[in-house]
């Protein structure tokens, strides 16, 4: 194998390892951020063109409900619903889940892109450190 192809292969391997390590940190954080912000009006307005019929706008509706804790006890909770409202104020469509999945997935996708960029930036320094470490081991 040529030296350049071996270098390219090892560079790709370093990038994959760096991407995996960085993604293990960034992806859970981006999922938490996406889940926590999915109930905001900005999130609903952003995903509304994908869910709501044309000529409608998204609105948020909250209502009191209950949830069950790990011991089987009912606890008070607040639920969020995205409503697609036409110009007359009539609710055309109501979505309880899909808007949150779309928003959280978009934020997670941004996190993965950020992880890829960071892995690309950090792959060269990591490759140099690995090469120095391997050279040190070969000397012994």
DSSP assignment letter at 95: E
pTM: 0.78
Banded pLDDT at 68 (limits 50, 70, 90): very high
Burial of 119 (0-12, 13-18, 19+ CB in 10 A): buried
pLDDT digits (tens, 9 = 90+) for 74-107: 999 999 999 999 999 999 999 989 999 999 999 9
Give CA angle at 28 (127, 64), nearest 5°: 170
Residue 44 CA to residue 48 CA, distance in Å, equals: 6
User: Token match 């019929």: residue?
Assistant: 53
Q: At residue 136, does pLDDT exceed 90?
A: no
């Amino acid at each position: 194998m040529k030296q350049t192809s071996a270098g390219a292969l090892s560079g790709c391997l370093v990038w994959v390892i760096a991407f995996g390590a960085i993604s293990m940190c960034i992806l859970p954080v981006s999922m938490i951020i996406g889940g926590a912000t999915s109930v905001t009006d900005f999130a609903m307005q952003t995903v509304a063109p994908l869910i709501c019929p044309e000529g409608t706008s998204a609105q948020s509706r909250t209502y009191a409900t209950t949830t069950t804790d790990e011991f089987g006890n009912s606890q008070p909770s607040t639920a969020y619903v995205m409503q697609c409202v036409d110009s007359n104020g009539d609710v055309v469509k109501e979505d309880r889940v899909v808007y949150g999945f779309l928003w959280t997935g978009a934020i997670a996708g941004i996190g993965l892109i950020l992880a890829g960029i960071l892995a690309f930036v950090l792959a060269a320094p990591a490759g140099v450190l690995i090469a120095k470490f391997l050279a040190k081991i070969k000397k012994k």
